A and B are shown apart, each in its own frame.
Chain A
Amino acid sequence: MTESTFETVTYEKCGQIAYITLNRPEVINAFNLQMRDDLSEVLDAVRWDPDVGVVLIKGSGDRGFCAGADLSEFGSAPSQAAARHARWERDIFGVLRNLTVPTVALLHGHVIGSGVELALLCDIRVAADNAVFSMPETYYGLIAAAGGTQTLPRMVKQGRALDILLAGRRLNASDARDTGLIQRVVKLDDLEMESERIARHLTEIDPALFGAIKIALATARDLPLADGLAHEQRLSIMLDRGVAGT
């Protein structure tokens, strides 16, 4: 087990399993600029570490996974152009989404705003039975900005996504599963054990195969069916030749 502690994030490696823990429990792991910078470093380390086979993302403390963006720092950008530059200069949400190893979100307690968005950028979502999900941005005159307006309607039905985003609908764990926002609910006490069981299973998938699956799923989402089918064939041939998913 190796461990690196940043100001807002803890990074541990245990064999092939990498644990990223959001670590501001006093504010339910609210996402601030420091956390963005810390996560950026951690995700870069993960991205280039051939020993990492799977990533688990969780929140520290009893109260929840993540309470959303830390609004005390909002409005600090000097201009819209600077804000736009900062958004794409270090696109940690894109890095997380495009990791070539499987990612698993462990969700408990409050999962709010960018907490939901982080979870939606992972490949697998496991929720404890005490998890509660909401995206209250419009209540405060904001909109989601870590992909939520796009990833949510691609995961749940359009009307439900609009209900969550516009009406601030709050979902408990079983509602969230029925809606399709998450796929697994376990007892809070079993969250770590169950997630590690899934993680060990995921490490058994050949990395090249996993990479190809991730690309194929993105293709299924973005391309017309005929193009997607052709792409799937190409990926399959490349896999057989040992060159896909890299």
Chain B
Amino acid sequence: MRNSVNQSSDNSTARVLTIPVGDRAAFEDACVRAATDTEVRAAMIVLTGDGIGDNSVEPGMPASIGALLVPVIAGLSGRIDDRVLELALAADIRLCDSDTTFALTAVTESGSGRLPSDGGTQRLPRIVGPGLATDMLLTGRRIIAEEALRAGLVTEICPAGESKIRVEQLSKEIASNGKSAGRFAKEAVLKGSDMPLDQSLRLEADLAILLHTDPERAEGIDAFNGGRHPGFRQDDGSK
């Protein structure tokens, strides 16, 4: 599959929604749009943690991201700690700069130990596995990008400073896929993971068959059989 994307397509900005994190009202507005605007095919978040408090991410913000049906891609750099990490964990795919580090310090904070309450105890073990999640939670251990990659916390490490560009590329790439297909695939994985396998396979099959009503699916099949790229894609089509 393709590794690069045309970045200069006017309409593609409507397909990828950037969710800003600095301002709470703007953040929530963007989340509402990501949830309601049917033209949005992917949402991206750029998080640069300073590691000295997580004021840029307020309580409840990770929940707003976690509720979205549209695929969410996060580009991470700096010190991704505590609530900033919890926000990143609410995204679907994460990539980072090579010098990014990750820690959950809430429990071990001197004098004010608290329970991470925006998904840290729930999403982290589901994403990296229970061993590393428990270690990070209880000891406050900081992990570096390579360990995050091995653990599945991120799926890509970019040269320092380039995650901002790469997250945009990857978001556009995902936004070029079938609109319902992307949402349904995400739903199948996330909702299915809470079910016994037999039930989750019914969910997948029902979503796949519901997708039969989608004109983009018909176009995708027609394009594949015709040896061309689907018309709904807005990229350079190389594959």
Give A contacts to B, CB under 8 Å.
71-72, 74-75, 77, 80, 83-84, 87-88, 93-94, 134, 136-145, 147-154, 156-163, 165-170, 178, 218, 221-223
**Residue pair B177, A157 in contact (C-beta under 8 Å):** no
> Do most interface residues of chain B lie in helix, strand or loop, or is the interface mixed?
helix
Q: A218: which B residues are within 8 A, CB to CB? A: 197
Query: Are A167 and B217 closer than 8 Å at their CB atoms?
Result: no
Pairwise interchain contact A159-B210, C-beta atoms closer than 8 A = no
Whole-angstrom CA separation of A108 from B8 in the bound complex: 38
Interface residues on B, range: 35 or more
- A139 contacts B197, C-beta separation under 8 Å: no
Residues of A within 8 A of B223 (CB): 140
Within 8 Å by CB of A166, from B93, B128, B154, B220, lies B93
Q: Do residues B197 and A159 form an inter-chain contact, with CB atoms below 8 A?
A: no
Give CA–CA (A160, B93) in the complex, Å: 8
A28 smallest CB distance to B (angstroms)? 14
Q: Which B residue sits closest to A88, measured CB to CB?
A: B205
Note all chain B residues with C-beta closer than 8 A to A169. Answer: 1, 155
Contact yes or no, B1 A134, CB < 8 A? yes
Other-chain contact of A143, B196, B207, B219, B224 (Cβ < 8 Å): B207
Task: State which of B176, B181, B200, B210 has its C-beta within 8 Å of the C-beta of A80.
Answer: B210
Determine the distance from Cα of A168 to Cα of B205 in the docked complex, in whole angstroms. Answer: 20
Residue of A whose beta carbon sits closest to that of B2: A168
Q: A138-B181, A157-B128, A159-B93 are in contact. Are A150 and B204 (CB under 8 A)?
A: yes
CA distance A218 to B200 in the complex (A): 13
Q: Which residues of chain A are within 8 angstroms of B67 by Cβ–Cβ distance?
A: none
In-complex Cβ contact of B127 among A94, A138, A159 (8 A)? A159
Residue of A nearest to B205 (CB): A87
**14 interchain pairs (CB within 8 A)?**
A77-B212, A139-B239, A140-B181, A141-B216, A142-B211, A143-B185, A143-B188, A145-B209, A147-B201, A150-B197, A156-B152, A157-B151, A159-B153, A166-B93
Q: Which of B214-239 contact A (CB under 8 A)?
A: 214, 216-221, 223-225, 230, 232-233, 239
User: Which residues 145-201 in B have Cβ within 8 Å of A in the complex?
Assistant: 150-156, 170, 173-174, 176-178, 180-182, 184-186, 188-189, 192-193, 196-198, 200-201
B71 close to chain A: CB less than 8 A: yes
| Contact between chains at A143 and B204 (CB < 8 Å) | yes
- Do A159 and B92 have beta carbons less than 8 Å apart? yes
Q: Name the contact of B182 in the complex, choosing from A80, A83, A157, A166 (C-beta under 8 A).
A: A166
B83 at the interface (CB under 8 A from A): no
Q: From A179, which residue of chain B is reached at the shortest CB distance?
A: B152
Find out whether the CB atom of A149 lies under 8 angstroms from the CB atom of B152. no
What residue of chain A has the Cβ atom nearest to residue B213's Cβ? A80
Smallest Cβ-Cβ distance to A153: which chain B residue: B189
Q: Judging by beta carbons under 8 Å apart, are A142 and B220 in contact? A: yes
Residues of chain B with a CB closer than 8 A to A80's CB: 209-210, 212-213
Tell me the bound Cα distance from A223 to B198 in angstroms.
12
Known contacts A142-B221, A147-B204; A162 and B1 CB within 8 A of each other: no
Within the complex, the shortest CB–CB distance from B91 to chain A, in Å, comes to 9
Q: Are B189 and A141 in contact (CB under 8 A)?
A: no
Q: How far is the CB of A104 from chain B (nearest CB, A)?
A: 20
A71 to B227, CA, bound (A): 11
Distance from B117 Cβ to chain A, minimum over Cβ atoms (Å):
21
User: Once the chains bind, are A167 and B173 in contact (CB under 8 Å)?
Assistant: yes
Report the bound CA distance from A134 to B201 in whole Å.
20
Known: A75-B218, A83-B209. A137 touches B185 (CB 8 A): yes
Are B205 and A71 within 8 A (Cβ)? no
How far does the alpha carbon of A165 sit from the alpha carbon of B174 in the complex, in Å? 10
Instruction: Identify A138's interface contact among B177, B193, B200, B221, CB under 8 A.
Output: B177
Whether the Cβ atoms of B220 and A140 lie closer than 8 Å is yes
Residues of A within 8 A of B24 (CB): none
Besides A142-B220, A168-B173, 7 other A-B contacts (C-beta < 8 A): A140-B178, A140-B221, A140-B224, A141-B180, A157-B127, A157-B129, A162-B93
A222–B220 touching, CB < 8 Å:
no
Q: Identify the interface centre among B94, B151, B185, B233: most chain A CB within 10 Å of its CB.
A: B185
Contact of A84 among B170, B205, B233, B239 (CB under 8 A): B205
